Amino acid sequence: MSRRALAVVAAAGLAGLSCGALAATQSEFDAAYAAAAQAEAQAGALHDQWSPTEAALKAARQAAEEKRYDEASALARRAEALAKASISQAQAQQSLWREAVVK
């Protein structure tokens, strides 16, 4: 994973963890989960899904089923950040691989 992708993941993770001042509702979780699922679908279209993203989505669903919406929303935001980082990585790799080829 590139340094840029790691920075995106770290920043998004910190942002997701620091937004928990107010209790999240189910509708806030639903919105966060929908955004994460959409980003993960985009990553899938690029054939670059990460297993930590899938794990975060699964954990978010489980937390929501247990009505722990603060945790579920934070996990969904983390999953979205991971999916966006994988999209970034896939897009970069589509052009950068040419530079690695020995000529």
Segment 21-66, tens digit of pLDDT:
568 899 999 999 999 999 999 999 999 999 999 999 999 999 999 9
Question: What are the structural domain ranges in the chain?
Answer: 3-100
- What pTM, to 2 d.p., does this model score? 0.74
- The DSSP secondary-structure symbol of 96 reads H
Taking the C-alpha atoms of residue 8 and residue 11, their distance in angstroms, rounded to an integer, is 5
Q: What is the pLDDT of residue 83?
A: 98
Report CA torsion sign: 9, 97, 54, 30: positive
Taking the C-alpha atoms of residue 49 and residue 10, their distance in angstroms, rounded to an integer, is 18
- HSE-up (13 A, CA, CB side) for residue 85: 23
Q: Which residue has the tokens 């899904």?
A: 49
Task: Count CB atoms within 10 A of the CB of residue 4.
Answer: 12
The two tokens of residue 24 are 């999240």
Percent of the chain with pLDDT over 70: 78
